[in-house]
Amino acid sequence: MNYQLRIMFFVLFFGFTQMSFSQEVSWYSKDMGFTSSVHKKHAKQIVWSKSVVDYSTQETNVLENRFNLTDPIYGRVYLERSIRNTPIYSSASKKPLENSRNGYEMKLFIDDKDAGGSFGVFEEGYFNDEMGKTWTTWQFSPHMTPPNTDEEKTTAKAWEKAVRGLSVGEHKIRFDLWGISGTHRSSEPMASGTFTLVVSKGERVATTAKFPKQTYSGSEGTVLANQLKQAMVNGGKASVSEIKKIAITSDWVYNRYTDTKKEYRKISAAILFADKDNDGVCRFVTYNFISDKAGSVWKAPRFHSFCNGCAEGDVNCP
């Protein structure tokens, strides 16, 4: 059957199935349907490749089900119906409900064990109204090289965290995509995708985060960094040997206490901690430090607090 006839068959087949479904629910929206013969073959699946599975190359991409830990892993989701056209249900009723917010969550299982992170969810979000109503396929890539957008970087970090520390050998990976809205969810995954991940000795995924650069404009940066290290030790936050590197990420900000009216100044610094489990990955966190003024002299800085909204993450150890 040539390409044109296949497309005609898909259109007719999809038209009949959509007509039947639209009679079951009141909110039916016309969606993209099957976008290729590959889509029809792999409906309700997530397929994988070592190259980007672009919408325009669906028919020609080489699909894979086995990857090394350091391989790029690109995927494409193939739905039977759009998120909006996939009913969700409450735990107490079998009545189909509309996923009006187009909510979804991606769950990850490694060797059949939940590995999704916080609340067992690898990734979650909402599509806009048009996407939720019409899209039946999109890219989902846990290990892009390199990730570019903020969304891609968030996915890459979640993957790094999930596979860090895996033992040498083969591991079964499974992603399940669910439609959700609050406590309501689809009756089954809208799409699932599995592959084998091979971990070799000494192999690890490179981190996407970067340790911050020092932005302090003062001339005594080295002296100040040593003072901040001592402030961490004095504050009971780390030992000298646990601190690998410090980057001062602000200049001093001057202020006065509201009660005593005495002057103080605050500065922020990223602290890189030593590798705790010998996996080649080091954690960094940004903290605030305070220096009080006594007469005409500024005291040595002391640990103050975690820096909300500042850089933190995991990087390859130096």
pLDDT in tens, 271-314: 999 998 787 889 999 999 999 999 999 999 999 999 998 999 88
Three-class SS state of 170: strand
pLDDT reported for residue 161? 87
> What's the predicted TM-score (pTM) here?
0.72
- Judge if 111 and 234 occupy the same domain: no
Q: Considering only CA atoms, which of 309, 260, 67, 281 is closest in space to residue 175?
A: 67
Low-confidence ranges of the chain (pLDDT < 70): 1-25, 118-119
- Judge if 62 and 159 occupy the same domain: yes
- Judge if 195 and 49 occupy the same domain: yes
pLDDT reported for residue 80? 97
Structural domains counted in the chain: 2
- Containing structural domain, residue 227: 221-316
- Judge if 178 and 251 occupy the same domain: no
First to last CA, the chain: 57
In a domain, 205, yes or no: no
- Judge if 233 and 185 occupy the same domain: no
Rounded-to-integer distance, Cα 86 and Cα 133, Å: 10
Distance, CA of 207 to chain centre: 12
Rounded-to-integer distance, Cα 281 and Cα 267, Å: 26
Half-sphere exposure of 317 (CA within 13 A, CB side): 15
Q: Which of 153, 168, 199 is the last residue of a domain?
A: 199
Q: Considering only CA atoms, which of 81, 76, 90, 100 is closest in space to residue 186?
A: 90
- Judge if 124 and 18 occupy the same domain: yes
Helical H segments across the chain, by residue range: 3-22, 37-41, 129-134, 150-163, 221-234
Amino acid identity at 140 = F
Q: Which of 168, 199, 230 is the last residue of a domain?
A: 199
- Judge if 10 and 145 occupy the same domain: yes
